[in-house]
Chain A
Amino acid sequence: MGFLENLELGFSVAFLPLNLFYCFIGVLLGTAVGVLPGLGPLATIAMLLPLTFGLDPVQSLIMLAGIYYGSQYGGSTTAILVNLPGESASAVTTIDGYQMARKGRAGQALAAAALGSFFAGTVATVVVALIARPLTSIALSFGPAEYFSLMVVGLVSSVALASGSLLKALAMICFGLLVGLTGTDIYTGAPRFNFGQLELLDGIDFVALAVGIYGIGEILRNLESKEAAPAIIASVKNLWPSRDDLKRMVGPAIRGTFIGSALGVLPGGGALLSSFVAYNVEKSTSKRSSEFGHGAIEGVTAPEAANNAGAQTSFVPMLALGIPSNVVMALMIGAMILQGIQPGPNVIANNPEIFWGLIASMWLGNAMLVILNLPLISLWVSLLRVPYWFMFPAIIAFSCIGVYSVSNSGFAVYTVTVAGLIGYFLMKLDCEPAPFVLGFILGPMLEEHLRRAMLISGGDMTVFVTRPISAGLLLVAVIALVVVSRPTIARRRKQVFVEEES
């Protein structure tokens, strides 16, 4: 099938009225929750995931994808209007976005973010459609040894691009892999690490784990600080950018899209890294670099375009290889498995309607974001006024009900409690949870491929370095590790991520 026929199939799926409806609901809910300060895409997806269980696989993935970019856009709105990034990827947007808002140009900043994102989304959709397929055919020739090495690369690079200590991140990966092995051994049927709990024989509920770490963890961190003074919300007057604004947006949007599309495909890359790089590129190349930090429209457009493009192209490794490049994609994989689809190169062959339907709906979702967000901006602004004393009990209630509904039992809710507590204290000890969650998802797959590779090679461990593709992948992992552990790079990494927190 040619590229156009595939897209046609995709759009015929995405334009089904019911699918359009779920895409819309996803974008709407995602934006509504994403606007709330302190709730990033991860917490949003984890909380809203249970709503998609009743749907068929195509609908649920379309809705989840909608929730994802909706929440990301919602985060940008909060960043611009109240100077609070709802998620780390929009941290850069606060720099110039909030300055624009203070100068009474909040409307233009929002429009720049929306238009930049839409342009990026359109291009990135095509990129995903173009490269996912060839990547899939490469992946189909992979044996277990190659898969094992590929997952190692994914895990290692998630560390390389994360903030904080390398050793701790590696330890978090190992811990995550171990916890992920909880349940029944698929080869022998022996129960493992279930601590006598029958409910854990099927493994630890992934949704409960994510809700605990990201939902409860976020709430506790927000409650640490004294109640913030009621945030000053910039008022939105005129939405439409002037001709001059538009002219200034074109270049940054294109460059941001390019950077985001390229970095999104990398394991561990995605939205966060993309927006940082795009902002820095604009700042250092712009003729108006002195305006950056004081409300330059380029400083809003470029990172917003980049983070949207990155968010979208990070679907590529997930769809083509079945390997999550970041935690959001890990959640998507968790959702696919719950729907009975084993993510990987076979999805495109066995369920083309899912694959192409999802890609087409990405573009539709982006179009909906523009249509939805600009007119509804006053609604989002009023959501920003919801006080925290109302919000955090509501988040707890939604999380509990959502997790309960995954298995219709209260047991999973206990998992939320335990995961929340352990996750919170590890965060207090500067241990980022992302490598843990990736490890948790990849644990069973990694073990399965390791065992299969050993069965095929007759127990010969050297198979990972004697097969060329596998050896090449492992080499990449080693290089990534060596590069990030070098002191100069380590210092630069720290600088980048300190900037993010300020």
Chain B
Amino acid sequence: MTNVKDAAAGAFFIAAGLLYGGIAWFGLPIGSALSMGPGYFPIILSAALILLGAAIVSRAVVVPQETPFGVVPWRALVLISLATIVFAAFIDELGMLPGVFVATAITGLGDREIRPLRILLASASIALFCTLVFSVAVRIPIPVIGPAFTGWW
């Protein structure tokens, strides 16, 4: 039986090598060994990466699977990614207190069982803590309440 994990890893490395190698080959001056262009070293590395990827794939056909892939916590994965993206995109607008609250609440939804009270409690206290530590004490230039809320009161 083919080792699916190894085959996937090998394919990933080949793809990455082709991507970086392609960019370097077609888009960057290569130069010579004496005066190397920005594409020279990347092409060597990409070639090595593709070869290693190919070796991993070909070995995967011979050597059977060793360990199972295991479960992936899909919901947590999606929600945690979403939380970081929301944080990145809106923190300047929302400000520290609401921004952290929203990001942690989204993260909290990624837990196996959703308990609204827990999430509310955790998000509120983390948001308050972060505001006190990072906005008040360390003075990171994120406003406590962001411009999105101006004119609300």
Contacts and interface: CB of A to CB of B under 8 A. Distances in A.
Interface string B1-44: 00001101110110011001001100011001111111001100
Contacts of B73: 220, 223-224
B132 interface: no
B100 A397 contact: yes
A80 interface: no
B62 interface: no
A431 B8 CA distance: 11
Given A223-B110, A389-B111, A429-B5, A174 B52 contact: yes
What is the predominant secondary structure among interface residues of chain B facing chain A? helix
A500 interface: no
A197 B125 CA distance: 36
A414 interface: yes
Which interface class (under 10, 10 to 19, 20 to 34, 35 or more) fits B? 35 or more
A397 B100 CA distance: 6
Contact of B81 (A174, A188, A417, A430): A417
B38 A190 contact: yes
Given A167-B55, A424-B77, A393 B69 contact: no
Contacts of A216: 80, 84
Contact of B36 (A181, A224, A226, A454): A454
Interface string B81-93: 1011101110110
A103 to B, nearest CB: 34
A398 interface: yes
Contacts of A461: 33
A428 B71 CA distance: 9
A165 B103 CA distance: 37
B145 interface: no
A417 B84 contact: yes
A226 B112 contact: yes
Contacts of B56: 165, 167-168, 171
A220 B80 contact: yes
A225 B129 CA distance: 29
Contacts of B41: 181, 446-447, 450-451
B76 A178 contact: no
Interface string A437-473: 0000000001100110011001111000000000000
Given A188-B37, A404-B140, A171 B13 contact: yes
B85 A396 contact: no
B34 A223 contact: no
What is the predominant secondary structure among interface residues of chain A facing chain B? helix
Interface stretch (A90-98, A261-269, A405-413): A405-413
Among A413, A450, A461, residue most surrounded by chain B Cβ atoms (within 10 Å): A413
B5 A170 contact: no
Among A396, A413, A431, A461, residue most surrounded by chain B Cβ atoms (within 10 Å): A396
Contacts of B23: 192-193
A171 B51 CA distance: 9
Contacts of A428: 5, 69-70, 72
Interface in B78-124: 80-81, 83-85, 87-89, 91-92, 96, 100, 103-105, 107-108, 110-112, 115, 118-119, 122-123
Contact of A396 (B16, B35, B55, B104): B104
A409 to B, nearest CB: 9
Contact of A178 (B16, B69, B80, B126): B16
Interface of B: 5-6, 8-10, 12-13, 16-17, 20, 23-24, 28-29, 32-38, 41-42, 45-46, 48-49, 52-53, 55-56, 59, 66-67, 69-73, 76-77, 80-81, 83-85, 87-89, 91-92, 96, 100, 103-105, 107-108, 110-112, 115, 118-119, 122-123, 126-127, 129-130, 134, 138, 140-142
Interface of A: 51, 54, 165, 167-168, 170-171, 174-175, 177-178, 181, 185, 187-188, 190, 192-193, 216, 219-220, 223-224, 226-227, 389-390, 392-394, 396-401, 404-405, 408, 410-414, 416-417, 420-421, 424, 426, 428-431, 446-447, 450-451, 454-455, 458-461
12 contacts: A177-B45, A181-B41, A193-B42, A396-B107, A401-B130, A408-B141, A410-B87, A413-B84, A413-B85, A426-B12, A429-B5, A454-B33
Given A178-B45, A400-B100, 13 more contacts: A168-B6, A174-B48, A216-B84, A220-B77, A393-B123, A396-B80, A397-B104, A411-B88, A420-B81, A421-B81, A429-B6, A446-B41, A455-B34
